[in-house]
Amino acid sequence: MRIATWNVNSVRSRADRIQAFLQRNDIDVLAMQETKVADAKFPYSVFEAAGYEVAHVGYHQWNGVAIASRVGLEDVREGFERQPGFHKDIAHEQAMEARAVGANCGGVDVWSLYVPNGREIGVRHYDYKLEFLYRLSEQVTPGSPQVFMGDFNIAPTDKNVWDIAFFEGKTHVTEPERAAFQRLVESGLTQVTHDELYSYWDYKSMRFQRGEGMLIDFQLVTPVMADRLKFAWVDVDERKGQGASDHAPVIADYDVADLAGALDEVR
């Protein structure tokens, strides 16, 4: 099963490009983030014409997550248990944002996640980011085939950014953020690794052309999926050219042929 995650940065403006990516890379399951569209305006027909079912969570023109699958789409979940909401005023009602969608795709429990950015250290959105990650760690079931993937908005180590000095006093690299990411890993997940250094290059200052990127997009998997991982890579070419997202897809191949039998043995 070939599984990919991609912050598409507007699904409607890049629908044709996404469809071409799915076909070119023979993708079975694609998790998308920052679709930036309400459910009613999502371009379902583009994916259906290519043979994919889609689960999408979008409330308006911000955030938005989706899963497109050609190997089945069952048990769709809008958000996860105890997922926090957000309002800059802590005393105000904390409204749920479109940042998580889960589904069973061909026997694998898949989550598409758009972790809050955090904005600035010490602001309400930064605390929201940490709470989101801590609550997410409660959803991990190590004995099940799970893939938690998406834009985590965290560079777990210094080597995951082009210049750590540039990020001094900024989010994405702080100790609390990295600790929250590590807690997620320690809940029973393995970070899928690859040879590419980065998955995101800001549009500003020609970051892509200068090779000034960040690795903030990940697939985190439970042991049963880690054991079946064959190969993973970042499709850096998808960041090139006119109309590209500022993120590149992270793709991984898993051998799930014996998955059902292996789970029966565990049970």
Per the annotation, the verdict on 151 as an active-site residue is yes
Per the annotation, the verdict on 114 as an active-site residue is yes
DSSP 117-172: ---STTSHHHHHHHHHHHHHHTT--TTS-EEEEEE-----SGGGBS-GGGGTT-TT
Phi, psi of 230 (to 5 degrees): -105, -45
Residue 113 pairs in a beta bridge with: 100, 150
Task: Classify 186 as helix, strand or coil.
Answer: helix
Is 117 annotated as ligand-binding? no
Per the annotation, the verdict on 198 as an active-site residue is no
> Residues 52, 114, 128, 198: which is the catalytic one?
114
> Residues 28, 151, 217, 235: which is the catalytic one?
151
Is 258 annotated as ligand-binding? no
Is 125 annotated as ligand-binding? no
Candidates 47, 43, 44, 111; CA nearest to 75 is 111
Q: How many residues does the chain have?
A: 267
Rg (CA), the chain: 18
Q: Cβ-count burial of 151 within 10 angstroms (0-12 exposed, 13-18 middle, 19+ buried)? A: buried
> Residues 28, 56, 200, 247: which is the catalytic one?
247
Is 153 annotated as ligand-binding? yes
Positions annotated as catalytic residues are 114, 151, 247
Residues in the annotated binding site: 7, 34, 151, 153, 246-247
Q: Which residues are annotated as a binding site for Mg(2+)?
A: 7, 34, 151, 153, 246-247
